[in-house]
Chains A and B, each alone.
Chain A
Amino acid sequence: MAVSASKPLPHSAGYAAEQASWRVKQILLIAGVVALAIYYNTVGWKSPAAMGIGAVRTVPPWKWGLLDFIAVEAGFLVLIYFILRLTPTAMTIAKATFQETVRRKVLLVILIFALVAIAAVTIFSWLSLGEEEKFIRDIGLGAVLFFGMLISVVLGAWLIPLEIERKTIFTLLAKPVDRTQLILGKFVGTALTLGANVLAMWLVFTVAYYLKRHTVEEGQIWLSLLNNTKAIFLTYCALVLLASVAITVSILASQVVAVVVTFFVYFTGLLGGQLRHAGDELIELSKRTGNAFNAILGQSLKVVYWLLPRLDNFDISSRLVLEDPVGFNYMWQTIAWGILYTGAVLVIAWMFLDSREF
């Protein structure tokens, strides 16, 4: 039994073809980001975090505050860097992560609970006579968000600590895998697993909603289903963002701390608007009363608001119930903001992992 002395050459014809095809995909993704950046810098939109529901920006880039300008442009550059680092190596790790996580029993149990809960919503909709549609949407979409959040937190907080605990990270980092690729691979794998879970929940919710409502809404049913899909897609984006937070914290702290911090981010992120409002109120109050403490507290709340993800922007269920139309304009601006925020969180994760010792 002899091992061949011939060294596997990474630059074989097959490898070169794979690399070329990968470069094309990367170029397309980068072109997308560049288009987004050009749009942002010329036509532009105000970040939902900056002013609420997506609206077109009226101030040209050269009149922004320096910090805003640097943050946003750096965000685009980070995205381009990550796309360049999203190599076949990172995608191999992502695929392996996905294959492993979809088999985890704890996630399966949460998913089954979620599916049962979503299906049960339609059965118990008689509890809310006259407001059946609201009941189904409120509880159904709430269930998708809640159970999705559980999956996101469990997955994000456990992935890298698990690699460290069972020492598989040793063999991984002894291979030609740099730590950016490891972070990106784990993140993309998590996003894929979340995608599969949210897809299952969307399917059950859509079928349940259709069966319950198609006779009542008749011609409107497809519009309702489209709106539900929009809501669930935005929820998915929020869950991916939340997972990036969980992954980042789990590199630095224990799994329990990662879970607690991510829960905190989830709940305070959903209350983002209220935080800002409370901050403004306190600052106003301090102006009237001359109380410096209120001013400090108000500014502190606004800093927390600025740092936390605006998860409330991703929750459109209440707008759907009020028949407030949610256009694709709002959708893509919210998603683009989410991508930038996630990119920034992943940069922090990469910095933590890069300096981490094993």
Chain B
Amino acid sequence: MAIGDIIIETRELTKVYKPPFMGGKGHRAVNNLNINVRQGEVFGLVGPNGSGKTTTLKLLLGLLTPTSGTISVFGEPPRNIAVKHRIGFLPDGPYFYDHLNADELLDFYAKLFGMSKEQRRRRADELLAFVGLTEARHRRIREYSKGMVQRIGLAQALINDPDLLFLDEPTTGLDPIGARQMKEAIVRLREQGKTVFLCSHLLADVQAICDRVAIMNEGNLVRFGAVEELLSDTRYYVITVGDLAEEALGKAKEQQLSFTTPDQNGIHHFNASDADGVTRVVDFVRGVNGKILSIEEKMDTLEDVFVRAIKGE
């Protein structure tokens, strides 16, 4: 598969949790979800608690069975063993066999991929260096801090050098430096051509590293697209203006220009949604002998987009 090819696709994916032998409609955790993930991108799935993120992730991993709809991962159903050879998974708040040390844990997971002893040893060396746990490789997992467990979790997810990596809240529990290293690691993985499917609450992180995002709320997909596209719709301009007379403000109102009340220095901020709006403001200010102090392009953050999407705006 080439960069840009679709490797995950869901069509009308629905999951309803219904207790066995009970009537009623049950809880619709995921509702007619249509998303796709392309080879080589970092894809973010975001949403508030209970929005259906984890259910979606479990469906993609084959841990849950869809009520209706289809899932394709590398063109196969997610429970296909051939698919498992090509994916890695770091769960949220991971827990591992804590009687093992890092070497033994990676060796165990590597054996499940049928690697030879030499391959297992070499891969463990590489990954422990990658996640910075070489020094702690002989310590039991139960002696690890939360951040160290998260890092060995990333190492086990990478044990088979996967083409597709599922990361569920990968920066949870990490200190700022650890979180930054994790983000850098994700970016490096993308540079190596890996596809990363990321579930996270940390929208600043998602905005910084994801190419495309899907925002879910109450099981529904409410926004889906490239991060730049989602944010470009929110682009606006702020024109900072000085030396405006009182009567000029009256004219501005007549021309339906949007501006703020002046600050203590008599500075006004005019808002324009596009380049034409900027031109109108500039022409107006020149016409009333005001001074244009600055013109700034502003954009909402992903968090703003997220909050509006959740509120249904």
Which residues on A are within 8 Å of B, measured CB to CB? 1-10, 12-15, 18-19, 88-89, 92-93, 96, 99-100, 103, 166-168, 170-178, 355, 357-358
Q: Is the CB of A5 within 8 A of B192?
A: yes
Query: A18 contacts which chain B residues (CB < 8 A)?
Result: 114, 116
Q: Mark B109-138, 1 if CB is under 8 A from A, else 0.
A: 111111111110001001101101000000
Q: Tell me which of A8, A99, A103, A178 contacts B119 (CB under 8 A).
A: A8
18 interchain pairs, CB-CB under 8 A: A1-B132, A2-B130, A3-B158, A7-B161, A10-B85, A10-B113, A92-B111, A96-B97, A103-B99, A168-B96, A171-B96, A171-B109, A174-B87, A174-B88, A174-B89, A175-B84, A175-B112, A176-B112
Cα(A93)–Cα(B85), bound, Å: 17
Q: Which residue of A lies closest to B191 (CB)?
A: A2
Q: Is the CB of B99 within 8 A of A176?
A: no
Q: Tell me which of A1, A19, A88, A357 contacts B111 (CB under 8 A).
A: A88
Q: Is the CB of B112 within 8 A of A100?
A: no
Q: Mark B134-167, 1 if CB is under 8 A from A, else 0.
A: 0000000000000000000000101011000010
Q: Is B58 an interface residue (CB 8 A)?
A: yes
Q: Is the CB of A4 within 8 A of B95?
A: no
Cα(A174)–Cα(B89), bound, Å: 7
Q: Tell me which of A5, A12, A13, A100 contacts B97 (CB under 8 A).
A: A100
Query: A99 contacts which chain B residues (CB < 8 A)?
Result: 99
Taking the closest CB of chain A, its distance from the CB of B225, in whole angstroms, is 28
Q: Is the CB of B94 within 8 A of A3?
A: no
Q: Is the CB of A175 within 8 A of B115?
A: no
Given contacts A100-B97, A176-B84, contact A89 B91 (CB under 8 A): no
Q: Is the CB of B118 within 8 A of A14?
A: yes
Q: Is the CB of A166 within 8 A of B63?
A: no
Q: Is B81 an interface residue (CB 8 A)?
A: yes
Taking the closest CB of chain A, its distance from the CB of B310, in whole angstroms, is 27
Cα(A355)–Cα(B115), bound, Å: 29
Q: Is the CB of A2 within 8 A of B113?
A: no
Q: Is B301 an interface residue (CB 8 A)?
A: no
Q: Is B216 an interface residue (CB 8 A)?
A: no
Q: Is the CB of B114 within 8 A of A88?
A: yes
Q: Is the CB of B127 within 8 A of A15?
A: no
Q: Is the CB of B81 within 8 A of A176?
A: yes
Q: Which residue of B lies closest to A185 (CB)?
A: B112
Q: Is the CB of A1 within 8 A of B97?
A: no
Cα(A358)–Cα(B158), bound, Å: 22
Q: Is the CB of A357 within 8 A of B160?
A: no
Q: Which residue of A lies closest to B63 (CB)?
A: A358
Q: Is the CB of A100 within 8 A of B99?
A: yes
Cα(A174)–Cα(B112), bound, Å: 11
Taking the closest CB of chain B, its distance from the CB of A171, in whole angstroms, is 6
Which of A3, A6, A93, A357 is the most central at the interface, judged by chain B CB atoms within 10 Å of its CB?
A: A3
Q: Tell me which of B65, B113, B129 contacts A176 (CB under 8 A).
A: B113
Given contacts A3-B158, A10-B114, A89-B112, contact A171 B123 (CB under 8 A): no
Given contacts A15-B114, A15-B116, A92-B111, contact A357 B89 (CB under 8 A): no
Cα(A103)–Cα(B58), bound, Å: 31
Q: Is the CB of A173 within 8 A of B63?
A: yes
Apart from A14-B117, A14-B119, A100-B99, 19 more pairs, CB < 8 Å: A1-B130, A3-B127, A3-B158, A3-B161, A3-B188, A5-B161, A8-B119, A8-B160, A12-B115, A92-B111, A96-B97, A100-B97, A168-B96, A170-B63, A171-B94, A173-B62, A175-B109, A177-B112, A357-B64
Q: Is the CB of A8 within 8 A of B161?
A: yes
Q: Is the CB of A174 within 8 A of B84?
A: yes
Taking the closest CB of chain A, its distance from the CB of B267, in whole angstroms, is 49
Query: B129 contacts which chain A residues (CB < 8 A)?
Result: 1
Cα(A357)–Cα(B16), bound, Å: 12
Q: Which residue of A lies closest to B123 (CB)?
A: A8
Query: B96 contacts which chain A residues (CB < 8 A)?
Result: 168, 171
Q: Is the CB of B84 within 8 A of A3?
A: no
Taking the closest CB of chain A, its distance from the CB of B176, in whole angstroms, is 19
Taking the closest CB of chain A, its distance from the CB of B154, in whole angstroms, is 11
Taking the closest CB of chain A, its distance from the CB of B128, in whole angstroms, is 10
Cα(A109)–Cα(B7), bound, Å: 51
Q: Is the CB of B188 within 8 A of A357?
A: no
Query: A9 contacts which chain B residues (CB < 8 A)?
Result: 119
Q: Which residue of A lies closest to B90 (CB)?
A: A171
Taking the closest CB of chain B, its distance from the CB of A104, in whole angstroms, is 10
Cα(A295)–Cα(B204), bound, Å: 73
Query: B221 contacts which chain A residues (CB < 8 A)?
Result: none
Query: B87 contacts which chain A residues (CB < 8 A)?
Result: 174
Query: B119 contacts which chain A residues (CB < 8 A)?
Result: 8-9, 12, 14
Cα(A301)–Cα(B111), bound, Å: 48
Cα(A172)–Cα(B118), bound, Å: 22
Cα(A346)–Cα(B114), bound, Å: 25
Cα(A92)–Cα(B115), bound, Å: 12
Q: Is B210 an interface residue (CB 8 A)?
A: no
Query: A168 contacts which chain B residues (CB < 8 A)?
Result: 95-97
Q: Mark B59-84, 1 if CB is under 8 A from A, else 0.
A: 00111110000000000000001001
Q: Which residue of B lies closest to A177 (CB)?
A: B112
Given contacts A99-B99, A357-B65, A358-B64, contact A92 B161 (CB under 8 A): no
Query: A172 contacts which chain B residues (CB < 8 A)?
Result: 112
Query: B65 contacts which chain A residues (CB < 8 A)?
Result: 355, 357
Cα(A6)–Cα(B113), bound, Å: 15
Q: Tell me which of B99, B115, B127 contacts A10 (CB under 8 A).
A: B115
Taking the closest CB of chain B, its distance from the CB of A20, in whole angstroms, is 13
Taking the closest CB of chain A, its distance from the CB of B31, in whole angstroms, is 18
